[in-house]
Structure 1
Amino acid sequence: MGRSSPVDLEAAIGVFDSGVGGLTVLNALRKALPNENLVYLGDTARVPYGTKSAVSVMRYAEQAVKALHARRIKAIVIACNTASAMALEHLQNCYPELPVLGVIEPGALAACKATRRKHIGVIATESTTNNQAYQKAILGIMPEARIQAQACSLFVALAEEGWHHGELVEQIVAKCLKPLMRGSESEGALDTLVLGCTHFPALSGAIAKVVGSQVILVDSAATTASAVKARLVSEKLLNPQQAPGQLSFLVTDGPERFARVANNFFNEQIDAAGVELVDIQHHTATLK
């Protein structure tokens, strides 16, 4: 099913996440597509998605997109690994007239390009790890790859609270990553590590120190932004305006906390007064 009417090229790209982690993707989109208008929705009332069931995540994601769809958008970016893993296909079916892109496939592609020994580690939330979305995406590109996955949900809390560096953070990171780091290089130790949650880049310094310089860290934010740009180009959806695009922020709870915590993830200062509180739960989802 295609579009039934011409697209407003100045319409915004809708970006959503369960909270603030998706701001790392927003940063990358801002850099790759500086003239595009962007509206970001953080479902902060129901964060985290990483511990929720697949049905709940799909319902939450559909409600988020319905709220964004009412705001004049031309594309959707799922800036959440859990929602990308569980709800991407559902949302694509719900909105066949819109480009709907997630972060899993771009991250998997970047990992396959980066690996030297075809041994890739994935760290993510419990739901994303159990769903095996990254494993499936990587094997779809590189069937011979060896993949190890580890749930590191505690990293989300560290990132949001601004605990990004220091001895204690490194100790926690080391303990969480210990199962992945066994084995010598000759035995085929992993050489690439996918940061499979948009919160995790905030801890990249500590993670890099723990895993060592021989392991390449893959952050899907930049590759996702490149994929979004390529899709907009291919569908002739780029905004023709020359001025910098406008940013809008929506949250489902706690605008003040969102603005404060956002400083750990976003390169621009966010004024809490400019963050709009919205209720998206009144939107009826097709999943009950």
Structure 2
Amino acid sequence: MADVHNIDRVTTQRIATKIGPGSKEGKQSPSSPIGIFDSGVGGLTVFRELQRQLPNEDIIYIADTARVPYGGRSPQEIIKINHQIINYLIKQGVKLIIMACGTSSAIAYPVVKDEYKTGIISLIGPGSRAAIQASRNGYVGVIATVGTIESEAYQKRIVELHSDAEVTAVATPLLVPLVEGGFIDADETRRVLKEYLAPIIEKGCDTLILGCTHYPHLAKLIKAVVGPGITLVDPAIRAVEETKKLLTKRSLLKDNSKPAKYTFLVTGSVVQFQDLGSKLMGKPIIGAKQVRL
């Protein structure tokens, strides 16, 4: 897969001209919702963290399940998809967007981050900073999709933050399909995790970034494989902390005068998303609607 930082500029501009940016960005207010998107149910880990840290905020969540997973797609295709989703969310009047997808954060964020006035939060920077702070020996592991690993987004950012850091990055392409298929506690998932995590353990990493938002759903299984000596880092926690700081800086935090409202939009099967999402969240997700982007 091509390095996102070296994508042909003409190609990128052609994509942007055809399908984004260009959506009208209206006036934002504290009552405007926050937009979150992912290829599927993985971003619900970010949604849950947003609920915990910012319980007053209205949220629009887009699950692009019709195109899950993103990890094996070309950078150009991922950028095109991100423009489509971001433009859609802006039309809904969101005040900030969280890329609740590791692949989008790694590949599309460097391209789209300066194309919009609306703030966009990725997971790479927050996850890398959290890992450097958590590591005691400077050996950091990363598991993520093929697209994220081949972009080297985490590897480069971690070394920028700590020049002596040693990064062991492992592509784990089977994990997203396993989560989306509901195989959260299956023997097959355990077997796959043992194989994927072996290089992390062998290298002596003391910190492991869960570089895809689907992976915190597997945190218990991952912890059982790596043992107590490796700290798991969920980038969502730091990403939401940075979301809160940005909203505070822009005076866009919503007060508690009205209950938070949650909207779930799905490009694939609504029933499948609601069933699996409810299982993963431990509470019902209802009222999701299908949308065409």
Provide TM-score, normalisation by structure 2: 0.88
> 8 Å contact 1:21–1:265 — kept in the other structure?
no
Deviations 1:124-178 (A, max 9, x none): 0000000011111111211110000001111112222232235443222111212
- In structure 2, how many angstroms separate the alpha carbons of the residues matched to 1:167 and 1:267? 21
Q: 1:275 to 1:142 in 2, by over 3 A?
A: same
Q: Secondary structure at the match of 2:212?
A: coil
Alignment pair present for 1:61 and 2:61: no
Letter in 1 for 2:212: C
Letter in 2 for 1:84: S
Alignment pair present for 1:262 and 2:277: yes
Shift of 1:264: 4.0
> 8 Å contact 1:27–1:267 — kept in the other structure?
no
Identity of aligned residues (%): 36
- In structure 1, how many angstroms separate the alpha carbons of the residues matched to 2:170 and 2:68? 20
Q: 1:166 to 1:276 in 2, by over 3 A?
A: closer
* Aligned match of 1:277: 290
* Aligned match of 1:106: 126
Letter in 2 for 1:203: L
* Aligned match of 1:225: 240
Deviations 1:85-114 (A, max 9, x none): 11113222221x211111111111110010
Q: 1:4 to 1:213 in 2, by over 3 A?
A: closer
* Aligned match of 2:13: none
Picking from 167, 174, 191, the partner of 1:154 is 174
* Aligned match of 2:210: 195
Deviations 1:31-63 (A, max 9, x none): 111111100011111111011011100000110
Deviations 1:218-248 (A, max 9, x none): 0111111111111111111111343331000
Alignment pair present for 1:36 and 2:60: no
> 8 Å contact 2:28–2:93 — kept in the other structure?
no
Alignment pair present for 1:83 and 2:107: no
The alignment of Structure 1 onto Structure 2 pairs a total of residues equal to: 270
* Aligned match of 2:73: 52
Q: 1:264 to 1:218 in 2, by over 3 A?
A: farther
- In structure 2, how many angstroms separate the alpha carbons of the residues matched to 1:278 and 1:26? 19
* Aligned match of 1:283: none
Alignment pair present for 1:177 and 2:192: no
> 8 Å contact 1:202–1:264 — kept in the other structure?
no
Q: 1:93 to 1:167 in 2, by over 3 A?
A: same
- In structure 2, how many angstroms separate the alpha carbons of the residues matched to 1:199 and 1:155? 8
Structure 1: runs of 5 or more not aligned: 184-188, 281-288
Letter in 2 for 1:134: Y
Letter in 1 for 2:289: E
* Aligned match of 2:147: 127
* Aligned match of 1:70: 91
> 8 Å contact 1:165–1:205 — kept in the other structure?
no
